């Protein structure tokens, strides 16, 4: 860590360096990372210029924190407000525990405040980032209450892999092979089933029961936005879901999506499923990214259709769902995803005020941001779905 460290705003000439640094987080492929960088920070429908803050030491990018643009609607009638979303924290190994994250964040938050932002949200913080964010003045706005439904065969494979990874003999063998840990060994593609490596393969060939339900690989942004508008808004804080936003959101090069639609030209409901691609290790997790429907019957039909995928790991947020929908997930076999993480306060939405006022004064359009009842939280709003 020789030489002074400078915190600077991202410039186009930093693209390749950021793509290389983000092999720590996005994907091991710098070319894919360049696509993701451009998609997230340049093609974003509300972006004027990338809000990325870099730490540079001796000419090398050693750390970054990105903030991407978002628009939220709140109140009735709804008012649209701009809020930057904190995301994409990466620090080179030799720079960790040096205070560099704090240095980057202080510079970033000061710059964002000077640009006119009143608040910053963070919707995809890991436990480590969560703890660091709390020390920098972020406050929890409420937990996501994630739930998961696992196929019995997949659950058996998952438990078997975990037992192997904890086995002392396997650990010694992994060290003898110069593997970083036995956990990495059992994330290798060969220890996953074909269905876990290609989670949508069964859904793509499913014949859905019931009339009017279809499966698609591409979104219908205009029809989806029309349904959202027709269903109305209860005044809670929610992300704008315009046709432009939805078209951009589902073009994420690090995700693969499937869309379940109810209705033809005019939608009665939709459910979006997402899965990560391009990572260092395969992940069997499929997430329910968004769900809208005109009534409970259609919501149930869409969820039942999603189960036709027989996913090894079907994941959802449940915190701000209606009680009837939470009950329905329980009936369908969903259970708390990570009780230990929940006991430590995560995962959750984070809020940071950029004004010099007390936390209890953090309000937006008269709604208290630190009250979970203020929010309509959906995984769609978090790029890390």
Residue indicated by tokens 């030489």: 3
User: Tens digits of per-residue pLDDT, 53-71?
Assistant: 999 999 999 999 999 999 9
Identify which of 65-69, 159-163, 361-365 has the greatest average pLDDT: 65-69
What's the start-to-end Cα distance of the chain, in Å? 34
- Which residue bears the tokens 């879901």? 241
Tell me the Cα Rg of the chain.
21
pLDDT tens digits, 263-308: 988 999 999 999 999 876 667 899 999 999 999 999 999 999 999 9
pTM of the model: 0.89
CATH numbers and ranges of domains, the chain:
5-144+346-381 (3.40.630.30), 146-342 (3.40.630.30)
Q: Please report, to the nearest 10 degrees, the dihedral formed by the alpha carbons of residues 107, 110, 111, 114 taken in order.
A: -170
Please tell me the least confidently modeled range out of 61-75, 90-104, 200-214. Answer: 200-214
List phi, psi (to 5°) of 8: -135, 160
Length of the chain: 385
């Amino acid at each position: 860590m020789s030489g002074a460290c400078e915190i600077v705003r991202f410039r186009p000439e930093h693209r390749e360096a950021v793509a290389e640094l983000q092999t720590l987080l996005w994907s091991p492929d710098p070319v894919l990372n360049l696509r993701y960088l451009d998609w997230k920070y340049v093609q974003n429908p509300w972006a004027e210029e990338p809000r990325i803050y870099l730490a540079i030491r001796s000419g090398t990018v050693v750390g970054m924190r990105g903030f991407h643009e978002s628009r939220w609607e709140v109140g009735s009638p709804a008012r649209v407000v701009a809020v930057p979303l904190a995301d994409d924290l990466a620090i080179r190994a030799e720079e960790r525990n040096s205070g560099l994250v704090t240095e980057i964040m202080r510079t970033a938050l000061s710059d964002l405040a000077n640009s006119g932002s009143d608040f910053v949200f963070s919707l995809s913080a890991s436990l480590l980032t969560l703890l660091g964010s709390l020390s920098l003045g972020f406050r929890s706005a409420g937990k996501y209450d994630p739930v998961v439904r696992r196929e019995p065969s997949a659950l058996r494979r998952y438990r078997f892999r975990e037992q192997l990874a904890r086995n002392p003999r396997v650990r010694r063998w992994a060290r003898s092979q110069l593997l970083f840990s036995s956990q990495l060994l059992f994330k290798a593609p060969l220890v996953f089933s074909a269905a876990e490596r290609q989670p949508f393969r069964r859904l793509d060939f499913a014949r859905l029961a019931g009339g009017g339900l279809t499966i698609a690989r591409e979104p219908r942004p205009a029809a989806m936005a029309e349904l959202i508008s027709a269903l109305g808004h209860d005044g809670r804080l929610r992300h704008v879901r315009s046709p432009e936003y939805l078209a951009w959101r589902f073009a994420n090069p690090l995700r693969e999506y499937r869309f379940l639609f109810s209705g033809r030209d005019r939608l009665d409901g939709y459910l979006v499923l997402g899965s990560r691609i391009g990572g260092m290790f395969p992940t069997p997790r499929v997430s329910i990214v968004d769900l809208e429907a005109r009534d409970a019957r259609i919501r149930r039909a869409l969820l039942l259709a999603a189960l036709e995928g027989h996913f090894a790991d079907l994941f959802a947020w449940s915190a701000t769902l209606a009680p009837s929908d939470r009950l329905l997930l329980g009936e369908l076999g969903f259970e708390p995803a990570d009780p230990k993480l929940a006991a430590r306060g995560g995962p959750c939405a984070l809020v940071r005020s950029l004004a010099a006022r007390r936390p209890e004064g953090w309000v937006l359009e008269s709604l208290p941001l630190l009250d979970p009842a203020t929010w309509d939280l959906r995984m769609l709003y978090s790029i890390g779905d």
